[in-house]
A and B are shown apart, each in its own frame.
Chain A
Amino acid sequence: MDETNRAARRVADVETQVSEHIARTGPVFGRASSSDGAVTVVCAPGAPPQEVRISPAALNMGAAALGDEIVRVAERAAEDAAARMHQSLARLVDPATSRALTEIGFPAGAAEEDFGSSYLRGPR
Protein backbone atom coordinates (compact mmCIF):
# COMPACT_ATOMS: atom_id res chain seq x y z
CA MET A 1 0.00 0.00 0.00
CA ASP A 2 1.56 3.28 -1.05
CA GLU A 3 1.56 6.54 0.85
CA THR A 4 -1.42 7.95 -1.02
CA ASN A 5 -3.61 4.98 -0.22
CA ARG A 6 -2.61 5.08 3.43
CA ALA A 7 -3.46 8.78 3.62
CA ALA A 8 -6.79 8.24 1.88
CA ARG A 9 -7.63 5.41 4.25
CA ARG A 10 -6.75 7.57 7.25
CA VAL A 11 -8.99 10.35 5.99
CA ALA A 12 -11.83 7.89 5.48
CA ASP A 13 -11.37 6.47 8.97
CA VAL A 14 -11.48 9.92 10.56
CA GLU A 15 -14.52 10.80 8.47
CA THR A 16 -16.31 7.70 9.72
CA GLN A 17 -15.38 8.42 13.33
CA VAL A 18 -16.58 12.01 13.07
CA SER A 19 -19.85 10.98 11.40
CA GLU A 20 -20.53 8.39 14.10
CA HIS A 21 -19.66 10.87 16.81
CA ILE A 22 -22.00 13.54 15.38
CA ALA A 23 -24.77 10.97 15.02
CA ARG A 24 -24.29 9.98 18.66
CA THR A 25 -23.99 13.43 20.21
CA GLY A 26 -26.11 15.57 17.89
CA PRO A 27 -25.06 18.75 16.13
CA VAL A 28 -22.80 21.26 17.83
CA PHE A 29 -24.12 24.71 18.62
CA GLY A 30 -22.70 27.71 20.38
CA ARG A 31 -24.63 30.23 22.41
CA ALA A 32 -23.96 33.55 24.10
CA SER A 33 -26.05 36.10 25.93
CA SER A 34 -25.47 39.68 26.90
CA SER A 35 -24.87 40.20 30.59
CA ASP A 36 -28.38 41.47 31.24
CA GLY A 37 -29.98 38.81 29.08
CA ALA A 38 -31.19 41.37 26.55
CA VAL A 39 -29.83 39.46 23.54
CA THR A 40 -29.15 35.74 23.11
CA VAL A 41 -27.66 34.25 19.96
CA VAL A 42 -27.42 30.58 18.99
CA CYS A 43 -25.31 29.49 16.02
CA ALA A 44 -23.59 26.46 14.53
CA PRO A 45 -19.83 26.51 13.84
CA GLY A 46 -19.00 28.48 10.72
CA ALA A 47 -22.59 29.50 10.11
CA PRO A 48 -24.74 32.59 10.61
CA PRO A 49 -26.92 32.86 13.72
CA GLN A 50 -29.61 30.25 13.79
CA GLU A 51 -31.62 32.08 16.41
CA VAL A 52 -31.54 35.61 17.80
CA ARG A 53 -33.64 36.11 20.90
CA ILE A 54 -34.33 39.62 22.08
CA SER A 55 -35.97 40.50 25.36
CA PRO A 56 -38.76 43.08 25.41
CA ALA A 57 -36.61 45.30 27.59
CA ALA A 58 -33.87 45.29 24.97
CA LEU A 59 -36.03 47.40 22.68
CA ASN A 60 -35.45 50.30 25.05
CA MET A 61 -31.78 50.30 24.05
CA GLY A 62 -32.60 51.98 20.77
CA ALA A 63 -32.07 50.65 17.26
CA ALA A 64 -28.38 51.47 16.86
CA ALA A 65 -27.33 50.16 20.26
CA LEU A 66 -29.38 47.00 19.83
CA GLY A 67 -27.79 46.31 16.44
CA ASP A 68 -24.32 46.72 17.92
CA GLU A 69 -25.21 44.46 20.84
CA ILE A 70 -26.43 41.74 18.48
CA VAL A 71 -23.09 41.88 16.63
CA ARG A 72 -21.14 41.60 19.90
CA VAL A 73 -23.17 38.70 21.23
CA ALA A 74 -23.12 36.92 17.86
CA GLU A 75 -19.33 37.10 17.84
CA ARG A 76 -19.16 35.42 21.23
CA ALA A 77 -21.68 32.80 20.16
CA ALA A 78 -19.53 32.02 17.10
CA GLU A 79 -16.45 31.67 19.31
CA ASP A 80 -18.40 29.38 21.61
CA ALA A 81 -19.54 27.22 18.69
CA ALA A 82 -15.99 26.99 17.34
CA ALA A 83 -14.61 26.02 20.73
CA ARG A 84 -17.26 23.37 21.26
CA MET A 85 -16.63 21.87 17.85
CA HIS A 86 -12.89 21.85 18.47
CA GLN A 87 -13.31 20.18 21.85
CA SER A 88 -15.76 17.69 20.41
CA LEU A 89 -13.51 16.65 17.54
CA ALA A 90 -10.19 16.87 19.37
CA ARG A 91 -10.98 13.55 21.03
CA LEU A 92 -11.25 11.86 17.65
CA VAL A 93 -8.48 13.33 15.55
CA ASP A 94 -4.70 13.39 15.83
CA PRO A 95 -2.85 16.49 17.10
CA ALA A 96 -2.00 17.64 13.58
CA THR A 97 -5.65 17.66 12.57
CA SER A 98 -6.51 19.41 15.80
CA ARG A 99 -4.02 22.14 14.92
CA ALA A 100 -5.54 22.35 11.46
CA LEU A 101 -8.93 23.01 13.03
CA THR A 102 -7.42 26.01 14.77
CA GLU A 103 -5.84 27.25 11.55
CA ILE A 104 -9.12 27.21 9.64
CA GLY A 105 -10.90 29.21 12.31
CA PHE A 106 -12.05 26.76 14.97
CA PRO A 107 -9.66 27.29 17.90
CA ALA A 108 -10.08 25.42 21.15
CA GLY A 109 -10.86 28.61 23.06
CA ALA A 110 -13.17 28.54 26.04
CA ALA A 111 -16.83 27.66 25.78
CA GLU A 112 -19.41 29.95 27.36
CA GLU A 113 -19.83 28.95 30.99
CA ASP A 114 -23.53 29.60 31.26
CA PHE A 115 -24.25 27.24 28.42
CA GLY A 116 -25.84 24.00 29.56
CA SER A 117 -25.83 20.68 27.81
CA SER A 118 -29.06 21.18 25.90
CA TYR A 119 -27.30 22.25 22.70
CA LEU A 120 -24.40 19.84 22.90
CA ARG A 121 -25.57 16.55 24.16
CA GLY A 122 -23.10 14.18 25.66
CA PRO A 123 -22.56 10.59 24.53
CA ARG A 124 -25.61 8.44 25.04
Chain B
Amino acid sequence: MSSQEERIAAADRLTGVLSRVTGTATHHTGLVTVTASAVGALKSVRLLPAALGRGPDAVGRMVTETARLATDSAVQTSYNEVAKTLGDSMAMAIEDFAGPPPLHAQGPGTPPLPGTSPAPGGSAPAPPRAPGRTAPRPAPAHRPTPEPPAPGQVTRPWSAQPPKPAQRPRPPVEDDDDDFFADPFRGQRR
Protein backbone atom coordinates (compact mmCIF):
# COMPACT_ATOMS: atom_id res chain seq x y z
CA MET B 1 0.00 0.00 0.00
CA SER B 2 1.43 3.36 -0.97
CA SER B 3 1.87 6.21 1.47
CA GLN B 4 -1.05 8.06 -0.12
CA GLU B 5 -3.32 5.04 0.16
CA GLU B 6 -2.29 4.57 3.78
CA ARG B 7 -3.24 8.15 4.58
CA ILE B 8 -6.63 7.75 2.92
CA ALA B 9 -7.22 4.54 4.84
CA ALA B 10 -6.18 6.30 8.06
CA ALA B 11 -8.63 9.13 7.44
CA ASP B 12 -11.45 6.67 6.75
CA ARG B 13 -10.64 4.71 9.85
CA LEU B 14 -10.39 7.84 11.96
CA THR B 15 -13.93 8.85 11.02
CA GLY B 16 -15.22 5.46 12.09
CA VAL B 17 -13.24 5.49 15.31
CA LEU B 18 -14.42 8.96 16.23
CA SER B 19 -18.04 7.94 15.87
CA ARG B 20 -17.64 4.68 17.79
CA VAL B 21 -15.31 5.38 20.66
CA THR B 22 -16.64 6.89 23.86
CA GLY B 23 -15.02 8.19 27.01
CA THR B 24 -16.43 8.48 30.49
CA ALA B 25 -15.57 10.89 33.28
CA THR B 26 -16.92 11.40 36.77
CA HIS B 27 -17.00 14.64 38.69
CA HIS B 28 -14.75 14.58 41.72
CA THR B 29 -17.82 14.81 43.93
CA GLY B 30 -19.10 11.63 42.34
CA LEU B 31 -22.40 13.36 41.66
CA VAL B 32 -22.16 13.50 37.87
CA THR B 33 -20.92 10.91 35.39
CA VAL B 34 -20.88 11.66 31.67
CA THR B 35 -20.17 9.43 28.70
CA ALA B 36 -19.35 11.26 25.47
CA SER B 37 -18.00 10.54 22.01
CA ALA B 38 -14.79 12.00 20.64
CA VAL B 39 -16.75 14.77 18.92
CA GLY B 40 -18.43 15.79 22.14
CA ALA B 41 -21.78 14.07 21.61
CA LEU B 42 -23.24 13.16 24.99
CA LYS B 43 -24.23 9.50 25.22
CA SER B 44 -25.34 9.49 28.81
CA VAL B 45 -25.52 11.87 31.77
CA ARG B 46 -26.02 10.27 35.15
CA LEU B 47 -26.85 12.52 38.05
CA LEU B 48 -27.10 11.38 41.62
CA PRO B 49 -30.14 12.74 43.45
CA ALA B 50 -27.78 14.63 45.78
CA ALA B 51 -26.52 16.63 42.78
CA LEU B 52 -29.84 18.41 42.51
CA GLY B 53 -29.31 19.82 45.97
CA ARG B 54 -26.40 21.87 44.67
CA GLY B 55 -28.73 24.07 42.66
CA PRO B 56 -29.35 24.42 38.91
CA ASP B 57 -26.25 26.49 38.13
CA ALA B 58 -23.93 24.05 39.87
CA VAL B 59 -25.52 21.09 38.11
CA GLY B 60 -25.07 22.74 34.71
CA ARG B 61 -21.47 23.59 35.51
CA MET B 62 -20.65 20.08 36.71
CA VAL B 63 -22.17 18.54 33.58
CA THR B 64 -20.23 20.92 31.31
CA GLU B 65 -16.91 20.25 33.01
CA THR B 66 -17.40 16.51 33.16
CA ALA B 67 -18.53 16.36 29.53
CA ARG B 68 -15.33 18.11 28.47
CA LEU B 69 -13.18 15.58 30.29
CA ALA B 70 -15.19 12.64 28.95
CA THR B 71 -14.68 13.98 25.41
CA ASP B 72 -10.94 14.35 26.01
CA SER B 73 -10.84 10.77 27.19
CA ALA B 74 -12.65 9.59 24.06
CA VAL B 75 -10.28 11.56 21.80
CA GLN B 76 -7.31 10.02 23.56
CA THR B 77 -8.74 6.55 23.12
CA SER B 78 -9.34 7.29 19.43
CA TYR B 79 -5.68 8.15 18.94
CA ASN B 80 -4.71 4.92 20.67
CA GLU B 81 -7.07 2.91 18.48
CA VAL B 82 -5.67 4.43 15.30
CA ALA B 83 -2.09 3.97 16.45
CA LYS B 84 -2.75 0.36 17.42
CA THR B 85 -4.02 -0.55 13.97
CA LEU B 86 -2.09 1.67 11.59
CA GLY B 87 1.07 2.24 13.55
CA ASP B 88 2.64 5.15 15.34
CA SER B 89 3.80 6.84 12.15
CA MET B 90 0.24 7.11 10.86
CA ALA B 91 -0.99 8.33 14.23
CA MET B 92 1.70 11.00 14.19
CA ALA B 93 0.61 12.04 10.68
CA ILE B 94 -2.95 12.43 11.95
CA GLU B 95 -1.68 14.34 14.96
CA ASP B 96 0.11 16.73 12.59
CA PHE B 97 -3.12 17.93 11.04
CA ALA B 98 -5.60 17.23 13.83
CA GLY B 99 -3.56 18.54 16.73
CA PRO B 100 -2.07 16.73 19.69
CA PRO B 101 -4.20 14.36 21.75
CA PRO B 102 -5.61 16.03 24.87
CA LEU B 103 -3.48 14.23 27.41
CA HIS B 104 -0.38 15.00 25.37
CA ALA B 105 -1.37 18.64 25.04
CA GLN B 106 -1.87 18.91 28.79
CA GLY B 107 1.48 17.35 29.52
CA PRO B 108 2.14 14.76 32.17
CA GLY B 109 2.38 17.27 34.99
CA THR B 110 -0.72 19.24 34.11
CA PRO B 111 -3.51 18.78 36.61
CA PRO B 112 -6.87 17.70 35.25
CA LEU B 113 -9.75 20.08 34.84
CA PRO B 114 -10.75 21.38 38.28
CA GLY B 115 -13.47 19.33 39.79
CA THR B 116 -13.29 16.44 37.40
CA SER B 117 -11.47 13.18 37.05
CA PRO B 118 -11.54 10.46 34.44
CA ALA B 119 -13.55 7.44 35.35
CA PRO B 120 -11.29 4.77 36.79
CA GLY B 121 -10.19 2.21 34.24
CA GLY B 122 -13.11 1.09 32.24
CA SER B 123 -15.83 1.69 34.79
CA ALA B 124 -17.80 3.46 32.12
CA PRO B 125 -21.42 2.56 31.80
CA ALA B 126 -21.44 0.49 28.66
CA PRO B 127 -22.95 2.62 25.90
CA PRO B 128 -25.00 0.87 23.26
CA ARG B 129 -22.67 -0.46 20.63
CA ALA B 130 -23.20 -2.07 17.30
CA PRO B 131 -23.02 -5.86 17.39
CA GLY B 132 -19.56 -7.17 16.78
CA ARG B 133 -17.86 -4.03 17.94
CA THR B 134 -15.19 -4.34 20.53
CA ALA B 135 -15.32 -2.37 23.73
CA PRO B 136 -13.20 0.78 23.67
CA ARG B 137 -10.07 0.56 25.71
CA PRO B 138 -9.50 2.92 28.58
CA ALA B 139 -7.44 5.96 27.78
CA PRO B 140 -3.77 5.79 28.65
CA ALA B 141 -4.37 8.39 31.33
CA HIS B 142 -5.23 5.48 33.51
CA ARG B 143 -2.02 3.69 32.67
CA PRO B 144 1.18 4.38 34.48
CA THR B 145 3.64 6.47 32.54
CA PRO B 146 7.04 4.80 32.40
CA GLU B 147 9.04 7.90 33.18
CA PRO B 148 8.64 11.65 32.75
CA PRO B 149 10.05 13.02 29.49
CA ALA B 150 12.99 15.34 29.43
CA PRO B 151 12.14 19.04 28.97
CA GLY B 152 11.45 19.79 25.34
CA GLN B 153 11.32 16.16 24.41
CA VAL B 154 8.40 15.24 22.16
CA THR B 155 6.57 12.22 23.46
CA ARG B 156 3.72 10.23 22.01
CA PRO B 157 1.21 8.76 24.39
CA TRP B 158 1.11 5.56 22.45
CA SER B 159 4.83 5.16 23.02
CA ALA B 160 3.91 4.31 26.59
CA GLN B 161 2.11 1.21 25.48
CA PRO B 162 3.61 -1.98 26.83
CA PRO B 163 6.23 -3.51 24.57
CA LYS B 164 5.26 -6.37 22.34
CA PRO B 165 6.18 -9.84 23.61
CA ALA B 166 9.58 -11.01 22.55
CA GLN B 167 9.78 -12.83 19.29
CA ARG B 168 10.15 -16.55 19.39
CA PRO B 169 13.85 -17.31 19.50
CA ARG B 170 15.19 -18.48 16.20
CA PRO B 171 17.36 -21.58 16.02
CA PRO B 172 21.05 -20.90 15.71
CA VAL B 173 22.24 -20.36 12.19
CA GLU B 174 24.62 -22.97 10.97
CA ASP B 175 26.77 -22.40 7.96
CA ASP B 176 27.39 -26.00 7.26
CA ASP B 177 26.57 -26.45 3.55
CA ASP B 178 26.10 -30.18 3.90
CA ASP B 179 23.42 -29.70 6.56
CA PHE B 180 21.71 -27.05 4.45
CA PHE B 181 21.41 -29.24 1.36
CA ALA B 182 20.28 -32.16 3.50
CA ASP B 183 17.38 -30.15 4.93
CA PRO B 184 17.09 -26.62 3.44
CA PHE B 185 13.95 -25.70 5.45
CA ARG B 186 15.07 -26.84 8.88
CA GLY B 187 15.34 -23.31 10.26
CA GLN B 188 11.85 -22.33 9.16
CA ARG B 189 9.91 -25.20 10.70
CA ARG B 190 8.05 -24.62 13.93
Distance (whole angstroms) from the CB of B55 to the closest CB of chain A: 8
Take A63-B48, A67-B47 as given contacts and tell me if A49 and B40 are in contact as well, using a CB distance cutoff of 8 Å. Answer: yes
Q: Which one, A46, A50, A66, A67, contacts B44 given CB within 8 A?
A: A67
Q: Are B64 and A67 in contact (CB under 8 A)?
A: no
CB 8 Å contact bits of A49-65 with B (1 = contact, 0 = none): 11111111011001110
Residues of B within 8 A of A68 (CB): 45
Residues of A within 8 A of B19 (CB): 105
In the complex, A4→B108 CA distance in Å? 39
Q: Are B40 and A43 in contact (CB under 8 A)?
A: yes
Residues of B within 8 A of A66 (CB): 47, 52, 59
Q: Are A50 and B64 in contact (CB under 8 A)?
A: yes
Distance (whole angstroms) from the CB of A76 to the closest CB of chain B: 11
Which chain B residues (58-110) contact chain A, with CB distance < 8 Å? 59-61, 63-64, 67-68, 70-71
Residues of B within 8 A of A78 (CB): 39-41
User: For chain B, what secondary structure do more than half of its interface residues adopt (helix, strand, loop), or is it mixed?
Assistant: helix
In the complex, A101→B19 CA distance in Å? 15
Which chain A residues (88-124) contact chain B, with CB distance < 8 Å? 103-105
Instruction: Answer yes or no: B143 CB below 8 A from chain A CBs.
Output: no
In the complex, A105→B19 CA distance in Å? 9
Instruction: Answer yes or no: B49 CB below 8 A from chain A CBs.
Output: yes
Look across to chain A and name the residue whose beta carbon is closest to the beta carbon of B63: A52
Q: Which one, A47, A53, A75, contacts B71 given CB within 8 A?
A: A47
Take A63-B49, A66-B52 as given contacts and tell me if A52 and B60 are in contact as well, using a CB distance cutoff of 8 Å. Answer: yes
CB 8 Å contact bits of A1-33 with B (1 = contact, 0 = none): 000000000000000000000000000000000
Distance (whole angstroms) from the CB of B9 to the closest CB of chain A: 16
Distance (whole angstroms) from the CB of A71 to the closest CB of chain B: 5
8 CB contacts below 8 A, A to B, read A48-B40, A48-B68, A48-B71, A49-B67, A62-B49, A70-B45, A71-B45, A75-B41
